């Protein structure tokens, strides 16, 4: 590692970010528990066809939300894993440090700002094919 040590996360910064990730993990887990119990309640309560149609679209919405949460959940778990392995805060693409400020804004970030910008510039081109 030839990069200046002070660019990497300090132990207290790492602890702060771990706290943020733990909190997000807890939030999602309690939210998705609520969503699932709501689904079960609605299914049991409604028998009217019109209500069922509404219920069905609510259910789709809930499932879509759940899908998004599931993806975020796996990102958060991955970030926590990287903290344990001592890989957190290091860009997966180029190995450069990801700044504390960037991680506070997006704790699940795995790329430094340069690599992220590059990835975003590549994406629209892919869509043309």
For residue 18, the minimal CB distance to Zn ion (Å) is 22
For residue 109, the minimal CB distance to Zn ion (Å) is 10
The one among 3, 53, 94, 119 contacting Zn ion by CB under 5 A: 94
Spatial CA neighbour of 8 closest among 128, 99, 105: 99
Q: How far apart are CA 107 and CA 19, in angstroms?
A: 10
**Those residues with Cβ within 8 angstroms of residue 52's Cβ, 6 or more apart along the chain or in another chain:** 46
The one among 54, 93, 104, 119 contacting Zn ion by CB under 5 A: 93
Residue list 34-53, contact with Zn ion (CB under 5 A): none
Q: Is residue 31 a contact residue for Zn ion (CB under 5 A)? A: no
The one among 39, 42, 91, 108 contacting Zn ion by CB under 5 A: 91
Q: Is residue 115 a contact residue for Zn ion (CB under 5 A)? A: yes
For the chain, how long is the longest CA-to-CA vector? 68
Q: Which residues of 37-49 are buried (b: 16+ CB within 10 A; e: fewer)?
A: eebeebeeeeeee
Taking the least distance from each CB to Zn ion, the nearer of 83 and 111 is: 111
Give the interface with Zn ion as residue ranges (CB under 5 A): 91, 93-94, 96, 112, 115
């Amino acid at each position: 590692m030839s990069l200046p040590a002070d660019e990497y996360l300090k132990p207290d910064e790492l602890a702060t970010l771990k706290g943020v990730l733990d909190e997000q993990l807890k939030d999602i887990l309690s939210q998705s528990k609520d969503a699932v119990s709501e689904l079960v309640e609605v299914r049991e309560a409604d028998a009217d066809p019109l209500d069922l149609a509404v219920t069905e679209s609510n259910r789709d919405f809930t499932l879509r939300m759940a899908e998004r949460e599931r993806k975020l959940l796996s990102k958060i778990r991955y970030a926590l894993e990287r903290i344990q392995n001592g890989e957190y805060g290091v860009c997966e693409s180029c190995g450069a440090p990801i700044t504390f400020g960037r991680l506070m804004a997006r704790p699940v970030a795995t790329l430094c700002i340069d690599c992220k910008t590059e990835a975003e510039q590549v994406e629209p081109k892919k869509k043309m094919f």
